[in-house]
Structures are given as C-alpha cells and as structure tokens.
Structure 1
Amino acid sequence: MTDRQPDRTRRRVTAAASGVLAAGAMFGVAHLGAALLDPPASPFSSLGDAFIDLTPEWLKELAISWFGTNDKRALLVGMVMVIVIAAAGLGILALRRLRVAQGLVLALGLVTGAAATSRPQTGSLALLPSLIGAALGALALGWLVVRIPAGAGSDPQPGPAPQAPPREQSRRSFLGAAAATGVVAVLGAVVGTLAAGARSTAAAVRTLVLPKAGTPAPPVPADAQSPVPGVVDVVTPNRTFYRIDTAFAVPQVSPDAWQLRVHGMVDREVTLTFDDLLSADLVEAYVTLTCVSNPIGGDLAGNARWLGLPVRQVLAQAGPRGDADMVLSRSADGFTASTPLEALTDDRAALLAIGMNGSPLPAEHGFPVRMVVPGLYGYVSATKWLVDLEVTRFADAQAYWTVRGWAPRGPVKTASRIEVPRQGASVPAGTVAVGGTAWAQHTGIAKVEVQVDDGPWHEAVLAGEISIDTWRQWSWRWEGATSGQHTLRVRATDADGVTQPGTPSAPFPSGATGWDEVTVRVG
C-alpha cells in the first residue's frame, strides 16, 4: 500500500458517510413535509407501496413464507439497507463528480415523488415533499463533500471542479457540517412522525363507542377451547390477529369523512356514511379469516367476533342486475378484491364490519370499515379500509391479486394443523397430549384424525363448535408413545363428508393442500 492510500481510503469513507447523512436529511425533511402537507405522500410509504405493487409474485410469496406477518418490517429494513448503500455510493461519486451526484439525488426525489402521486390516497401536493427533500439533500451533499479534509493522498480533481475541497478546510468544519446535517435528518424524521401521528385515526379508534348489536353473536360454547395446553386461543385477540395486506403504511381514514359508494350494475347508486352504519341494525358474528398464502400448518388464520352491517342489506338497496355475478371492493389505498355476488347476498354473515372482539376495528385491520366474508380467502373478500363496492361481472373486471394470476373466486380449502407438540419437540414416553385446530369455513368440521408414523388413523375429540363459519379445535391422547423419533400427521373432514387431500400443493394459485405433520422425539 502506498503512502497516499490511507488518506484516499479515509476520504472515501468520509464521503460515503456524507452521502448517508445527506440521504437522511433528504428523507427526514421529505417525511416532515408530507406529514404537514399530505401524510400518505411520505417517501418511505410511497416507495414501499410501489415496491409491493411491482414485486413479482414469486418474491411476494417468498417474503410471506420467510417473514409471515413481519413482511412489512422486513421490507422496511431492506429499503433502508438499499438506500444506505446507494447513498454511500453517491457520496463517493461526489468526490469526483459532485454535480452528477447531486443530479442523481434530485432524480431520486422525482422517483419518490412520482411514487407518491401514483397512490390513490394522496392529494395534489403529493409531489412537493419529495422535491423539497431532494433539493435539501443535494445541497447537503455538496455542503459536506467540499468540507471533507484534504489529505496527501486526495483524489485529483479534473476540470473546473467546483467540488474540489480546499486543503485548508479543517476537520472541525466538516464535523460541524455533519452534525448539523444529522440534526436535520433526525428532527425531520421525529417531528414528521409526531405530526403524522397527530393526524392519524388513533384518537378516533380510542374514542369511538360502538353501538350494541341488534343481533348479538351466540355465546362461545364452554368446550370450544381445546383442553390441550398450548393450543391457540379459540377467539384470537386483536393484538395477535394476523395481518397480511398490500399497504406498506397503514392508511389513515377518518370516520367523519368516510363514505362507501355502491355502484355499477345496479338499479340505483347508494352512498353510506359512517353515521349510517352506526345507526343501522347491526349484526355480530364469529368468523374465521384465512390468508390464501397460508402454507399447510401455517398461522395465517384467526378467529374473531365481528360487528357490522350485512352486505346483502346494502346490496338490496342498490338492486344488483340479473347478469351481475361479482362485486369488486376497493380499499382507500387502491387494493381491490373480487367477491362472488352470491357470497354477499346469501344468508351467511358477510359484513361491513366496524367492530372486532368488542372494540372498534384497529387501524391495521381496516378502521373504520372492512369486509368480512365467511368461506372465502381474504384476498377475494376481506378488503380493509373499504370505500367502494362496484357490482360487475368476473368477465368484465379483475382484482389486484387475480391480475397477478391467483384464482378469481377463492373458496377456502379445508385445513388442519398440529399445534401441540411443536415440530422438533421432545416429549416423554407414555401418554402424550396432541392438539390443534381445523377449519372449513361456511361448511364446518365434522371429523379430525391423527396418524402416528405410517400407522392407522385415529379419530380425535372435537371441541365445541361456535359455528360453521369458524375454526374448530381438537385433541387426541397418544397412548403408549415409545422412545425414538416419530412423525404425527393430521387430516380433517368437513360437514359435507369431504376429507382434505394428502397430496401437498403450494398456496399459489388457489390455496395450499396437504396434511400437516410434525416430527418429535419421544423419551
């Protein structure tokens, strides 16, 4: 290594840090500007939403299989890492080509601004926060780079090179500029987050008093919970209910401004306000929801007590035409779902839900209004932050996931899973308690069977049934478990007498099939 090499390396590391600081200032100021002007236009949420929309199907499925309900956090971490690496590269580039690097910063601002303006929930000022942030980021990059202390091994600066840092610039000058840029970045992020929080729907969720149901849900049977310790709660608490959706940041929809438009192939258009729902004769029902991406044995399912207005009553006001066969529901963030019309007009508890387990809908689960439809996977029915119902036909319209190759109708497939003992668990020889959950929404579970290794199937004891629209728990006593490694399998039969197939298949395009199995060590 030459004598000049250490100086050159230090300058490049300092330049990389300058790029990261400038990017922090850019995104912090843009986030603050969005919080003040148009909260959904925040660059992180805009880029995140755009990335989700543009991600190929195989990568989305991989993310869900790896991270489950933490997929949004994983995306955020990945975005931050990419931005940090790119910003460091721009800082190094700025040592030789400052104006080019600044131009790339401005280009990044245009990209984030374009992503913001493409989101359905943003307004006319969506481009402005990103442009302001990019302009400040470009200025900060130049301000920092020209203050990088020159060393004996500094890179030559060809051409007119206004970016060439004078040798007499002191390290103290650079550190002061770096500290000031860091303060701008942190203040922008913190104050922007606080300002956005002040405009969120959290206060409305906390203060909303739900009306009593005109038709309350029947009480949960005393024996509905499996007696095996470790089996999940038969009614899933709101805080642990799975969340899978396409929104990188939770949409903030004010109940005061909320409206639902019902239109399309109808005799008359209908518009509902949130006050209309609060004053309606509401229905309460326990319904289990399941994600189509749930693998065999997966945990992307939950059971809750929902409060809402039956969708069939709203559709009856609109009067669907005889040749309509689908309702395209739309979220405030642009997501759409294609629901068979018959599933919304028959006697099942398909609801415009405003309550969940006795509380207003949490924001992440669709406040103020979402759809809940028994018997269908969420991707074709469980639209959160609902704002629009278009009565149409499957032949005329496609929804968010059907455009991407998923089946358009999405009936839930019968599934069962072993929750106790867990995969890889060690259990004592003798008698082993085995338990889990099965579901066949809107059909009901009639039987669950367990197999040890390749032996005969043994019928499990079913817990009490809340309704055919909910999952059902089960338990089985494994008598005479012998030392060694053993594999347990489970299968369920629905109320129509159809047993779930053992041949495994992936979730795409219409839901996974196969028997869940766990391998345990006895002794």
Structure 2
Amino acid sequence: MGVTTISPTAPATARRSAGVAGVLAAALTLTVGHLVAAIVDPDASPFIALGGAVVDATPAWLKDFAASTFGTADKTVLFVCMAAVVLGLAYGVGRLALTRPTAAAVCVVVLAGICGVAAMGRAGTGMLAWLPSLVGAGAGVIALRAMVETLRTPAALPDADEDSTGAAPAQHGYATPDRREFMRSATIVGVVAAASAIAGAIIGAARSTAQMARDLLDLPAPATPAPPLPEGVQSATAGVGPFVTPNEDFYRIDTALIVPDVDPATWTLRVHGLVENEIELNLDDILARDLVETRVTLTCVSNPVGGDLVGNALWLGLPIREVLAEAVPTADADMVLSRSVDGFTASTPIEALTDDRDAIFAVAMNGEPLPVEHGFPVRMVVPGLYGYVSATKWVVDLEVTRFADASAYWTERGWSERGPIKTASRIEVPRASAHVPAGEVAVGGTAWAQHRGITKVEVQVDDGPWEEATLADEATVDTWRQWSWTWGDAEPGQHTLRCRASDPDGVQTATVAPVVPDGASGWHTIYVYVD
C-alpha cells in the first residue's frame, strides 16, 4: 500500500482504472439524470432523449435494416448499441481525466448538453426538460474528479538534478496509486448510480397512470359487433400461427423508445385544418358513441418477404369517417396528418378514412382495452394501408390537409406518401432449412391483401408446376387468409419451396423489391431437406 514506483507517465494500471472511473461516472450521469427526469419530466431522461434523437436522425436504409434484421427487438438493439458507444466514449474520457481533467469535464458537459437539447426538442416535454441532463452532468463531473484524484498522486522523480540553488527542479511523475482508495471511491459511485436507477424506476412506476387507468377501464358493448368467425379460418396444417394474434405476440414497431404514459382523464383528440368545424373529443366522448367491432390485419412496411411484422386482431372503436363527416373537410383536402403524443406523424389519404372500410379510432384489442404499448388510450386502425401512414398510436391530433402542403415522419425520410399494402404470402410450415421425412409433407402458411382479399394461393416445388393450395375460410377482406397444401411425393435431397397469392386484381408480383420506399415484394422462397 502507498507509493511503490514513480514514473514520468501514468502507470498502465492507473490509466485502466481511470477508464473504469469514466464508465462509472457516465453511469452516474445517466442514472441521476433519469431519477431527476422521473421527478420533473419522465420524457426528458437523458438516455431516452438521446435515443429519440438518434431514431429521428436514422436514414431510411438503416431503419429498414434494423427492423428487418431485428424485428420487434430493434429498440433493444438500439439501446445496447448506444450503451456500447456511450461506455466506450466514457472510458476514453476517464483516461483523459487522468492528465487533462478540465478537458474531460468539458466532454461530459458537452454530452449532457446534447442530451438536454434533445430532451427539449422531444414532443410533450416541458420547460424543465434540460434539468435532468444538467444535474446528471454535475454529478458525473464531481464523481469523475473524485475517483481520478485517487489515481493522480504526484511525486518527484528520483533522478531529477538539482538546480544552481540546490533546490529540486519542478519535475514530477505519477506514483502508483493506492488501489484501495480508488476502489472505495468507485464503489461509492457505483452504489449511488444503482440507487439512482432503482429510485428512478420506482418513482416512474408510481407516477405511471396509463396502466392503472387501463386496468380500471370499462369497455362498452359494441353497437355493431363483428360477425362470428367462420369455423374454418385456421389452416389445416399444424404449426401455422393462430388466426387471431394474441396481444402479447402482436408486433410492435414505432418510434417511441419508452411507451408514452398517457392519462386518459386528460387525453383529447383534436380534428382541425381544412375543415368547416373543428372538433375536440375526449375518451368519454368516444366511449359514449356507437362503437363498431372489426377484424383487421395490420402490416409494417418494414416487413420483409416472408417476415413476421404482421398481425391480425379484433378491434373496437369509433369509425373515423363519422368524426370527419362532423368536421366537414373542404373539397381540396386529400390527406389527414395524424399526430401521436410523442410527435410521430402519419399521412393518410383522406379517402381511406372516409370510404366504407372500417377505419377506426380503436379503444380495444382482442376484447380488452388497448395495451399501453399498442396505443392506449386510443390509436388508429386503417385497413389496406401500411402502419407508417395510418396506424398512429397514442393519437392526439388530426389535421385535415393536402399532400402538397404537409409531410409525415417517415415520408420525410424517404418513404412513399400513401403506402397501400402489397399482396403477400409466406410459408410457415415447414420452416426454412427444416429436415422433413420423404413422402407426404404438410405445407401451410398465410397470405394477405387487406381490403382486397385473397382469392388463391399456389405452391411450387423446385421448378415444377404451380399447385393450388386449399384456402382456409375468409373472415373479411381486411384480414389475412391462411392456407394448406400437401406435398405428396417429397423425395430425398434439398428442395426449393415457394408460394404466391392472388387477389381480385391478379397474381402477386414476382419482382423482388426492398422494403424502402413502399414495401417489399417477391415470392417467399425457402429451402428444405428431405431425409
């Protein structure tokens, strides 16, 4: 213990320890900021604000890659990547603090400033959105300085020559630090960071009103119930997914890094713009109306050929056309710009909201109030359009406008304006690269062409003829349709299976296209091994 060696440069152990100090200080910065945000403004949490800024700046090709590669885990991957980058930078800042403490402190303040600016730019944040980042930065700078000071023990170099006066020259090196002192300070910082994270989570949960309100919400009976499902809507092939997607399995793709906590008691929906009558509704207004029940399949534009970013559910809600009829759009309006509480916007062709399709303000999903992560208290559900132009969650505003005058979140990032869903089909059984026994092989899957309907599905083995599959019963043209087929003479070896669907307008296109700018296309193709 104490000084053991003296070097003109900081020992390697001190540099590594300083890097660890930087990581701990960064953790304290973020957790203290999160704690303060839980108290003053949950949406202003530094890490969440920074993540939101990253999402907003994400180019279309990268968003496509993340959604198609990671699916509903894209936000988790984003957080992990951000954490890795932040911790890597923090390690470097810690090492910098060993020799240039002022420069290191400036780096922390700059990062906090970026987070603060990002927080102030988030939809829904208040006047104190900058405070969590500022307080977090202060805590981080103090902690970093305290830890690094235990490593910056100066000592005179033993071989320094005396000057003419006999005094030792002003030349100092770095002594090997007392490791126990550093560990004590690092432990204190780590404990405070952990305590801040736990306290922030507890306070955030205590302040959450959406989940509690959802649990207490009494749903009215639909004025127009959905017809009973035909008995044969499920594919006869074992292993094909359920016709109705359970809420917990329904895909979630949106721009909200944390689920908005919307209080239904204060929630309102404003309809304005190119209308004769501006309208404002609260949740009680909607629940008091004649609600309709409808079955609709939703699809994400980022769904690759054969992907699983698609789900089918029973929805309860108020027809949007009724609300727009009361607002009376002007003759030149051709688009409705919907806005979420978190700032997301979607551009929906006005005809899709005013024709006879079941476009609704949904308040329930599969017989229960909307899950918070799926838009509670109210979201939009529009058959026939990809979600990025229609399925706004936590919706608070509808502006009746024109495509020539306004644009939406993803159209500003390279995606098409209108987003009609393309006819698609997928093979679910057998799975890609599966090994199956020779002879009869059960094949099955799902196809969709929302608001047009599926009329036929065909399957091809290798380069053989297209064989027509057996369609399951149709619920509505707005839902997917499952199918089954028997491959009767599967011979040993590797084989290619592909499928294609038809709607009333013809056969699904074979042209391969990426998801950007208006959805993927092509025939789903898999390879299987017959043993």
- Shorter-chain TM-score range: over 0.9
Structure 1 unmatched ranges of 5 or more? 155-163
For residues 416 and 94 of structure 1, the distance between their equivalents in structure 2, rounded to whole angstroms, comes to 57
Partner of 2:354 in structure 1? Answer: 345
Q: Does 1:217 align with 2:226?
A: yes
For residues 449 and 48 of structure 2, the distance between their equivalents in structure 1, rounded to whole angstroms, comes to 36
The correspondence for 1:333, drawn from 328, 331, 342, is 342
Cα distance, 1:265 vs structure 2? 0.2
The correspondence for 1:76, drawn from 79, 98, 101, is 79
Partner of 1:158 in structure 2? Answer: none
Normalised to the residue count of structure 1, the TM-score between the two structures is: 0.95
Cα distance, 1:149 vs structure 2? 6.8
Offset from partner CA, 1:274-321 (integer Å, 9 cap, x none): 111111111110100001111110111000001100000111111111
Q: Tell me if structure 1 keeps the 8 A contact 2:50–2:118.
A: yes
Q: Does 1:498 align with 2:506?
A: yes
Q: Tell me if structure 2 keeps the 8 A contact 1:7–1:151.
A: no
241-250 vs 2-11, greater mean Cα deviation: 2-11
SS of the residue aligned with 1:120?
Answer: coil
The correspondence for 2:204, drawn from 196, 201, 204, is 196
SS of the residue aligned with 1:403?
Answer: helix
Alignment map for 1:294-309 (pairs within 5 Å): 294-309=303-318
The correspondence for 2:248, drawn from 239, 242, 256, is 239
The correspondence for 1:101, drawn from 101, 104, 114, is 104
Partner of 1:175 in structure 2? Answer: 183
For residues 490 and 503 of structure 1, the distance between their equivalents in structure 2, rounded to whole angstroms, comes to 13
Offset from partner CA, 1:423-470 (integer Å, 9 cap, x none): 000000110000000000000000000011111111100001110000
Cα distance, 1:153 vs structure 2? 12
The correspondence for 1:517, drawn from 494, 503, 525, is 525
Partner of 1:377 in structure 2? Answer: 386
453-462 vs 202-211, greater mean Cα deviation: 202-211
SS of the residue aligned with 2:53?
Answer: helix
Cα distance, 1:263 vs structure 2? 0.1
Q: Does 1:358 align with 2:367?
A: yes
For residues 428 and 152 of structure 1, the distance between their equivalents in structure 2, rounded to whole angstroms, comes to 77
For residues 4 and 75 of structure 1, the distance between their equivalents in structure 2, rounded to whole angstroms, comes to 42
Partner of 1:126 in structure 2? Answer: 129
435-444 vs 6-15, greater mean Cα deviation: 6-15
CA separation of 1:3 and 1:480: change in aligned 2, threshold 3 A? farther
Q: Tell me if structure 1 keeps the 8 A contact 2:415–2:516.
A: yes
Partner of 2:483 in structure 1? Answer: 474
The correspondence for 1:147, drawn from 125, 147, 150, is 150
Cα distance, 1:497 vs structure 2? 3.9
For residues 349 and 19 of structure 1, the distance between their equivalents in structure 2, rounded to whole angstroms, comes to 55
For residues 304 and 378 of structure 2, the distance between their equivalents in structure 1, rounded to whole angstroms, comes to 28
CA separation of 1:168 and 1:71: change in aligned 2, threshold 3 A? closer
Q: Tell me if structure 2 keeps the 8 A contact 1:148–1:165.
A: no
The correspondence for 1:11, drawn from 10, 14, 17, is 14
How many residue pairs get aligned? The number is: 512
Amino acid at match of 1:193: A
Structure showing greater radius of gyration is 2
Q: Tell me if structure 2 keeps the 8 A contact 1:149–1:165.
A: no
Q: What is the Cα-based RMSD across aligned positions, in Å?
A: 1.9
Cα distance, 1:207 vs structure 2? 1.9
Q: Does 1:38 align with 2:47?
A: no
For residues 156 and 174 of structure 2, the distance between their equivalents in structure 1, rounded to whole angstroms, comes to 13
Partner of 2:395 in structure 1? Answer: 386
Percent of residue pairs bearing the same amino acid type: 59
Cα distance, 1:204 vs structure 2? 1.5
Cα distance, 1:172 vs structure 2? 2.9
Normalised to the residue count of structure 2, the TM-score between the two structures is: 0.94
Q: Tell me if structure 1 keeps the 8 A contact 2:10–2:173.
A: no
Cα distance, 1:103 vs structure 2? 1.4
SS of the residue aligned with 1:303?
Answer: strand
Q: Tell me if structure 1 keeps the 8 A contact 2:456–2:501.
A: yes
Partner of 1:186 in structure 2? Answer: 194
Cα distance, 1:171 vs structure 2? 3.0
SS of the residue aligned with 2:259?
Answer: coil
Offset from partner CA, 1:447-505 (integer Å, 9 cap, x none): 000011111111100001110000000000111111111111100000x2411011211
CA separation of 1:394 and 1:152: change in aligned 2, threshold 3 A? same
For residues 208 and 89 of structure 1, the distance between their equivalents in structure 2, rounded to whole angstroms, comes to 50
Q: Tell me if structure 1 keeps the 8 A contact 2:335–2:350.
A: yes
